[in-house]
Amino acid sequence: MSELVSPFSNPENAEWAVAATRGELLIKHCRSCGENHYYPRAFCPFCQSADTEFLATSGEGEIYSFAITRVLNPVIVHAYVTLQEGPTIMTKIVGVDPDRIAIGQQVRLGFEPSKMGFPMPVFTPVETAQA
């Protein structure tokens, strides 16, 4: 069992949680300064504007950093993944031998059940054909 504990649902992230149940990861876009950010919140962390909107992501990203917890079974790989849309998010890498994970690896979005009743985003490396 390797469930993630999700953030508490609140008015700032309710739309995010509903999208997660559809298998879609939303981030926030600031209409004032143009930056994207994650986690979802009412005010832009770059310019403090409240003029923000949810934005659907492609589900594509790249591993920025990771740490392997080997004392648990199954092993858990905590990671920061930088989304194609810009924000770097804390997540897990699943569905791969932890010893084959590398910084810079391309990953694709998936979801896992959480204890809070809605799924949490996780990522799996995209296998690329060897030349």
30 lines the binding site for Zn ion (CB under 5 A) = yes
- Smallest gap from residue 90 Cβ to Zn ion (A): 21
Rg (Cα) of the chain, in Å, rounded? 15
Question: What secondary structure does DSSP assign to 7-56, as a single string?
Answer: PPP-TTTHHHHHHHHTT--EEEEETTT--EESS--SS-TTT--S-EEEEE
Choose one: 45-53, 62-70, 77-85, 101-109; the region binding Zn ion (CB under 5 A): 45-53
55 lines the binding site for Zn ion (CB under 5 A) = no
Closest to Zn ion by CB, 50 vs 126, is: 50
14: helix, strand or coil: helix
50 lines the binding site for Zn ion (CB under 5 A) = no
Q: Which of residues 96-115 bind Zn ion (CB under 5 A)?
A: none
DSSP 99: G
Closest to Zn ion by CB, 33 vs 55, is: 33
User: Rounded to whole angstroms, how far apart are CA atoms 120 and 106?
Assistant: 19
Binding site for Zn ion (CB under 5 A): 30, 32-33, 44, 46-47, 49
